[in-house]
Amino acid sequence: MKRAIGLAFVIIACIAGFLTVRGSMPFMPIFGSSMEPTLHSGGLLTIKPLNPNDIRVGDSIVYNVPPMVREYYNYPPVVAHRVIKINTTPSLGFRTKGDNTGEEPFTVRPMDIRGTVGKQIPFLGLPLLFFQSQQ
C-alpha cells in the first residue's frame, strides 16, 4: 500500500512538472533571483488570471515567452517580471524588467499574458525546477 501511494505521488509530481514546464498550470516554480526580494528562487508562485487591459505600470505579471524570442535571448518559457511601461501604439504591448535585472529586450504582447503574480509558497517549487533542469 505504501508503495502504491509513493508511486502515485511520483506520477502526479511528474505530470505537474511536465505541465509546469509547458506553461499550462495556474502556478509556476520561481527560478533565479531577478525578482528578489519580492520573489525567492525555489518557491511556487500562483498565477491569478488578469485581463491585459487592466494591467498598470508597477504590476508584476506572468507571461509566456514566444519560442523565437526564447531561443534568441535564451529565456525560460514563462517569466514573472514587473511592468515598467505600457505601449499603446501601434498596438498594446508591455515593457518589463526584473527587480534585480535590466529591461527586457522585447515587448510582451497581450496574447502572451497569463496573469498577475499571486501568492508565493516557499520551497514548494524546487521539485518542479528539477523537471526543468538538464538532469
Compute the distance between CA of residue 63 and CA of residue 81 in angstroms, rounded to an integer: 8
Burial class (CB in 10 A: 0-12, 13-18, 19+), 117: buried
C-beta of residue 46 within 8 angstroms of C-beta of residue 119:
yes
pTM here is 0.77
Compute the distance between CA of residue 88 and CA of residue 94 in angstroms, rounded to an integer: 9
Tens digit of pLDDT at every position of the chain (135 positions):
778 787 777 777 666 655 655 555 688 888 888 888 888 888 889 999 999 999 999 999 999 999 999 999 999 888 999 999 999 988 999 999 999 999 999 999 999 999 999 999 888 888 777 776 666
72 CB-near residues (< 8 Å, 6+ apart): none
CA angle 48, 49, 53 (to 5 degrees): 125
DSSP-derived letter for residue 105 is S
Beta carbons within 10 angstroms of residue 101's beta carbon: 13
Supply 14's cell numbers. Answer: 511528474
